[in-house]
Amino acid sequence: MPNVLNNNSDQTDNLNVADGTAIPPLGSRGVIRVFAPATVANVVCGFDVLGFAVNEPGDEVEMRLTDTPGVVIKRITGDNGKLPLDAAKNTVSASVQHYLHHVNRLDVGVEIELHKKMPIGSGLGSSSASTVAGLFAINKLMGDLLTPKELVPFAMKGEELACGYGHADNVAPAILGGFVLVRSYEPLDVISLPTPAGMYAAIVYPEVDVPTKDARQMIRSKVFLKDAVTQWGNVAGLVSGLFMNDFDLIGRSMKDVLVEPTRSILIPGFEDMRTIAMENGAIGFGISGSGPSVFALAKDEETAKRITKAQQQLLHKLNINSKAYVSSVNAEGPRVM
């Protein structure tokens, strides 16, 4: 049976945790280092409700408990000075603060080092990976007080800080691994979906600037009913294809008539990259999150590598630098390193 989280609308205030006697004493538990994966959100037709995790890239958080109450970010690497050290403004520390408040442990001191191993603003869930790594780390240090699914609402708080809206299609797969469907936000209802054997993601990140907030503001607030019906059918078809291990159905369903037509304008060479992907054997192709990264699903690693190589050659001709990642779907989520 699929795993489901059902809570009230203020998700973090309605989680049940053990009383204080069940929380292990702080003591000396050393340092923990956690990796959390990048994610592909939307998966073409599933705006804000579908996502999956990949094995690379990802972010790392190093965390230690201290005797001085409060959450402090000691160091950030790999961000080129873009991210705030202010604990209230950084998605990692702010989410950890929210977690500690919820479990009634404001006496706990935490020092955080964030190591960005993936590009910021790539459309691959950069803020999500950092936030999830931090939450996974503090939950481990506190004795796994919450289940992975119970961490999702806290990670959504980080997304709200990062882009103004607490969506879960990045953070849920980053925490749970694999494909995830967000059936509902109020109440939160998160469902893990199966991954067909052998599926690979071919991801290319063109190094152009497409801020998430700007990309979100371009989306129409009202849609035609006929377009909504088409989109509903594609989401249902994609989910069915995952359960049925039917690559053809997945490919037929990877079509977006609501969001992609607008967002793709911001990505140079988008339609040519689609053509390259499909001519080289992709199951389907689309924008990862809000872009500018694009992704294709493939039946094997060789096909995925062929797609990314050809797409990068196109971007090189357009004088656009790019990074490429070929990965199977990450079923594990975050891990202790």
The catalytic residues are 159, 212
DSSP per position, 146-188 = S-HHHHHHHHHHHHHHHHSS---TTHHHHHH-SEEEEEEETTE
Cis amide leading into 2 (omega within 30): no
Which two structure tokens, joined as six digits, stand for 115?
């190591």
Q: Which helix (H) or strand (E) holds 112?
A: strand 109-115
Torsion over CA: 177, 181, 185, 187 (sign): negative
Residue carrying the six token digits 């797969």: 173
Burial class, 57, CB count within 10 angstroms (exposed 0-12 / middle 13-18 / buried 19+): buried
Instruction: Tell me the Cα Rg of the chain.
Output: 20
Q: Which helix (H) or strand (E) holds 325?
A: strand 322-328
Which two structure tokens, joined as six digits, stand for 303?
């096909």
Strand partners, 333: none
Backbone dihedral angles phi then psi of residue 321, each to the nearest 5 degrees: -70, 155
Alpha-carbon distance 173 to 315, whole Å? 29
Task: From 145, 147, 120, select the one nearest 24 (Cα to Cα).
Answer: 145
The residue ranges of DSSP E strands in 194-303, in sequence order, are 200-206, 284-287, 294-298
Q: Which helix (H) or strand (E) holds 217?
A: helix 212-217
